[in-house]
Structure 1
Amino acid sequence: MKSLFVAIIVFASCKCTKPDAVKDCNGPAIKDCMCTMQYDPVCGCDGKTYSNACVARCAGVKTWTKGECPPVKN
């Protein structure tokens, strides 16, 4: 029972925040934004792959690199 209590306290005291680089990555999404359906993938600074730069910009992503994002390893 004590170990469960300690585990709960430790879990509750952890900060669950995004790194500063990701915090500064996204701005507000653009509501009435239109993009072509051209597939020219970009990797957003948030680690998500967008179908093209226009879609990333409309999602509020501030910076991106050309190409798909690398797969996330668990």
Structure 2
Amino acid sequence: MRKIYFTFLVLFILGCKDEDPSSPCKGDGLDGGVCIEIYQPVCGCDNVTYSNTCYAEIGGVTSWVDGECSG
């Protein structure tokens, strides 16, 4: 019975990994992408305001929030 509890404990601990805090904010981006010229600003995780989500994706940003960056 102890072996079963120990096995579940080990599996539980291994399954509770957090996201990698060193994961990059920017990836490779998209080469040759074409975006529509509609201004719906987003603030990228790199604290740069992009004209819209398309430009953020082309810029390689992996996450953003709606609206312009402050500051």
TM-score interval, smaller chain: 0.5 to 0.7
C-alpha distance in 2 between matches for 1:31 and 1:58: 7
Identity across aligned pairs (percent)?
Answer: 43
C-alpha distance in 1 between matches for 2:29 and 2:54: 12
Residue equivalent to 1:70:
70
Tell me the CA shift for residue 62 of structure 1: 0.3
C-alpha distance in 2 between matches for 1:51 and 1:39: 5
Tell me the CA shift for residue 24 of structure 1: 1.0
Counterpart AA for 1:51: S
Tell me the CA shift for residue 60 of structure 1: 0.4
Tell me the CA shift for residue 63 of structure 1: 0.2
C-alpha distance in 1 between matches for 2:67 and 2:29: 21
CA RMSD of aligned residues (A): 1.4
Stretches of structure 2 that go unaligned for 5 or more consecutive residues are 1-20
Structure 1: 4+ residue segments shifted above 3 A: none
Q: Please give the TM-score of this superposition, normalised by the length of structure 1.
A: 0.64
* Structure having the higher Rg: 2
Q: Please give the TM-score of this superposition, normalised by the length of structure 2.
A: 0.66
> How many aligned residue pairs are there?
51
Residue equivalent to 1:29:
29
- Mapping for residues 1-74 of structure 1, pairs under 5 Å: 24-71=24-71
1:9-55 Cα offsets, whole Å, 9 max, x none, are xxxxxxxxxxx66x610000211101101000000000000000010
